[in-house]
Amino acid sequence: MRHSTGTPHGFSLLELLVSASILVIGILGVLIAFPTSYQNVGHGGRVVQATNLAQQKIEQLRNGSFPPAVGQETTGQYARSWTVNVSGTSPDRLATVTVTVGWTRQTGPMNVQLLTIIPES
């Protein structure tokens, strides 16, 4: 009888089971992380939308009149509020504009707040 001294060809059943187990664990890890990643992307999109709404309101107030103002409005799922505080005397007055945009997430209320100072033109 001859014994082979070379390397064996093929895989053993144990090697196949170990590699399949490692593959399944890797796939499960990706599947478990996917919903969390999807929620984070959705949240990021809402933050961007809220920031855009706040910036739009700042631009409207910048191009409008200069007296003190307080207001609020609802745009879709977002509630937008703003205050304009004027300080100084004309023609060197400054307006401190604060715009807050809020929305509700499953985990509770969220908001974005932008603040800027606008010189009287």
Q: What is the pTM of this model?
A: 0.69
Task: Tell me the pLDDT tens digit for each residue of 33-43.
Answer: 777 777 777 88
Domain residue spans of the chain: 13-119
Q: Which fold has domain 13-119?
A: Pantoate--beta-alanine Ligase; Chain: A,domain 2 (3.30.1300)
Task: Tell me the pLDDT tens digit for each residue of 11-22.
Answer: 788 888 999 999
Number of neighbouring beta carbons within 10 Å of residue 8 = 7
Kindly tell me if the per-residue pLDDT of 4 is higher than 70: no
Q: In the 8-state DSSP scheme, what is residue 101?
A: E
Task: Tell me the pLDDT tens digit for each residue of 40-62.
Answer: 778 888 999 999 999 999 999 88
Instruction: Give the closest residue to 110 by CA, choosing from 56, 59, 42, 61.
Output: 42
